[in-house]
Amino acid sequence: MAETGPLTPRRSPLAHLADRMRAAAVTGARGVTLTELPFLTMVNVRVDPASEAAGRVEAALGAPLPRRCGDTTASGPRTVLWLGPDEWLVLSPSDEAAALREALGPDPGSVVDVSANRTTLELSGPSARQVLEKGCPLDLHPRAFGPGRAVSTTVGPVAVLLWQTDDAPTYRLLPRSSFADHLGRWLVDAMGEFSGPQVP
């Protein structure tokens, strides 16, 4: 058996921008902060929402599968985001795939761990909405988009899942990992109006 060396620690897609994101933060009435929340478990679920299998999946989640575009449901630390009429993304700090595969059983559908596919950026503070409005085509005014809403959209040139988690407001942006650097830099630049000039 070949010898193996020490394992290389996991490195998040935006670890190299952590200092720059911290430097871009500002507090106060025009405050805004940007951080990465790496390594969250993300499980893609496909199942007929009217099937018995969907009921078993809901029981395993402890929450109903959202039924409309933009809706989310939550149970404890896990949140379920609607992606399509028969597709959802389960976000959790722990592994969910095995339990959900067991709940699906032999019925038509799929449960796939897609955690490595995306990372999560959290943008928060009184100016967070204004930062996003520089490059997001959605109407983000509270009358149209508020806590518990999550949709697929673009921010700058990057496709993301955009989820508002609270009234702060706090937004979580889920880009593909390969586009995370571009989005992170775009957001830091967009924050410049509130946080002052950035050091290269």
186-195 pLDDT, tens digit per residue, is 999 999 988 6
Q: In angstroms, rounded to a whole number, what is the distance separating the alpha carbons of residues 8 and 18?
A: 19
- The pLDDT, as a whole number, for residue 56 is 97
Whole domain around residue 50: which residue ranges? 41-116
Whether the CA torsion 155, 160, 163, 169 is positive or negative: it is negative
Residue 196 has pLDDT above 60, yes or no: no
A 10 A CB-CB count for 199 gives 7
CATH number for the domain that contains residue 134: 3.30.1360.120
What does the pLDDT average to over 169-177?
A: 97
135 and 93 inside one domain = no
What does the pLDDT average to over 157-171?
A: 96
In a domain, 72, yes or no: yes
Peptide bond into 169 cis (omega under 30): yes
Tell me the pLDDT tens digit for each residue of 52-102. Answer: 999 999 999 999 999 999 999 999 999 999 999 999 999 998 888 999 999
169 and 104 inside one domain = no
In a domain, 9, yes or no: no
pTM, two decimal places: 0.90
131 and 95 inside one domain = no
Tell me the pLDDT tens digit for each residue of 118-146. Answer: 999 999 999 999 999 999 999 999 999 99
Strand ranges (DSSP E) for the chain?
33-36, 41-46, 72-75, 78-84, 87-92, 110-113, 121-124, 150-155, 158-166, 170-175
109 and 123 inside one domain = no
Tell me the pLDDT tens digit for each residue of 21-63. Answer: 999 998 888 899 999 999 999 999 999 999 999 999 999 999 9
- The pLDDT, as a whole number, for residue 9 is 73
| Count of structural domains within the chain | 2
Confidence category of residue 200, pLDDT binned at 50, 70, 90: very low
CATH number for the domain that contains residue 63: 3.30.70.1520
136 and 166 inside one domain = yes
